A and B are shown apart, each in its own frame.
Chain A
Amino acid sequence: MTTLRVNGQTHDLQLDPRTTLVDTLREHLGLTGTKKSCDRGECGACTVHIEGRRVLACMTLAVMADGKRITTVEGLARPDGTLHPVQTAFIEHDAFQCGYCTPGQIMSAVACIEEGHATSDDEIREFMSGNICRCAVYAQINAAVRAAAASSVLHATV
């Protein structure tokens, strides 16, 4: 039995040890916000937070996340639906085109800001380099991260 604590909810799951965290979130828990793209740890679309650190769900075997606190993009907004400031910044800066990489970009951006790695455009580019955008909306993503980092209050993630 594997126990996953996702966005504040506890799930007891019987899993084949081959199951990755991204497949578990999407196929077993119905949390399809986390995207599966390259499935090889190269694109960042599946970025989630484990114990507050950004990691790749496609490179994580779910059994190895047993007992860990996991946050996905569904866990960023407040219970009343108020979006996380980074989500708001992505909308305000039009920081997506097709949107497929966006949940991973947002999860990475939240961590990037919390790590203190969003103090300049160059630093944001370097510390967001693990998230590929095939539509190449990088300029807008950079602006959104910059704006969110500058906004005074970043409410705590789950």
Chain B
Amino acid sequence: MQPFSYYRATQVGDALAVMQREPRAQLIAGGTELVNWLKEGIASPPVLVDINSLPDLDAIEANAAELSIGALARMNDVAAHPEVRRNYPAIAEALHNSASPQLRNMASMGGNLLQRTRCPYFRADVELACNKRRPGSGCAALDGYDRTAAIFGWSEHCVATHPSDVAVAFAALDAAVHVRGLGGVERAIPMTDFYTLPGETPERDTVLQRDELIVRIGVPQSPIARRSRYLKVRERTSYEFALVSVAAGVQLDAGGRITDVRIALGGVAHLPWRLATAERALPGTHLSDATALRAAIEDDFAAARPRRQNGFKIELVERAVVRTLQLAGGNA
């Protein structure tokens, strides 16, 4: 670990001022990711700004219009919150199936969203080519292990997937990330616009600016959110990243036909991947008709570009979408 100076910020403005003054400073909240990067030499900030003492950023509040999750709320506290469990089950399930109980007690919601998009090469013990770890160094996954890699939206500079579960649920439920800038000005970024595709700038993960800090996540209350589920498919039952995952919410008519639907996928791209075409095609389909559900989501997969080892993700995630829709609608 390289030496750094430690600063405990007590106001958002103080934290952002340090970030602006020292271009390589980094914020720390739960530390469950950054402490590893410090140990492994992946991050070496000269200044670490501890934001855990910032006031009023850990609240979890729900009213008839919206669920508001403070950036410093911890994953376990959000997962266990009665309003989240009742009206936003996909969010509770996504959090509950993330990491381990200890890590969920530590990790903040803002930090969860700011996990680095990465693949196993990013943190190799002996440094290997990775454009995220060292911009311009190349991508070892292109000729290597790509079983867990993206099938949508990757570029020849990066094929990694975003590791967050709850970001997938947020993307499906039309959440917004509220960020505050140095001047105190706040802006709301739709979850679906928050992350960037790798393109020519694979080192970049989000549209967040250096002098901005996430203050809260807002999720609109809706019938879709109340009937939402998160399905995580992984190599073992617990404490593992998703191979693929699905967050979906449905609204049904009295006859069991879909009237409105939202679907986002995890483990398939550099960011949570919404199935926009499927969301337009699915209304009118009976929830119990798995064949019709499957047919209605096919068009989105025309854009899939599987790599050598991960072609199985297409079949896996399509089946997972059908299952999640039926779980959400109470038909499975």
Contact = CB atoms under 8 A, between A and B. Distances in A.
A113 interface: no
Nearest to B5: A17
A130 B101 contact: yes
B238 interface: yes
B201 interface: no
Interface residues of A, number: 29
Contact of B100 (A64, A115, A117, A129): A129
Contacts of A40: 36, 39
A55 B102 contact: yes
Interface string A122-146: 0001110110000000000000000
Name the prevailing secondary structure of the B interface residues: mixed
A44 B102 contact: yes
B256 interface: no
Interface stretch (B27-35, B84-92, B223-231, B299-307): B27-35
Interface in B49-107: 50, 52, 99-103, 105-106
Contacts, number: 74
Interface in B10-52: 28, 31-32, 35-36, 38-39, 48, 50, 52
Given A54-B102, A55-B106, A63-B6, A129 B31 contact: no
Given A111-B101, A112-B101, A56 B50 contact: no
B108 to A, nearest CB: 12
Interface of B: 1, 3-6, 28, 31-32, 35-36, 38-39, 48, 50, 52, 99-103, 105-106, 237-239
Closest 7 CB pairs of A and B: A130-B100, A129-B238, A17-B6, A129-B239, A53-B105, A18-B1, A130-B102
6 contacts: A53-B105, A55-B105, A59-B31, A63-B50, A111-B101, A130-B102
Given A16-B3, A130-B99, A130-B102, 20 more contacts: A17-B5, A17-B48, A18-B3, A18-B38, A41-B35, A41-B36, A47-B102, A53-B105, A55-B102, A55-B106, A56-B102, A61-B35, A63-B6, A63-B50, A112-B101, A125-B237, A125-B238, A129-B238, A130-B103, A130-B239
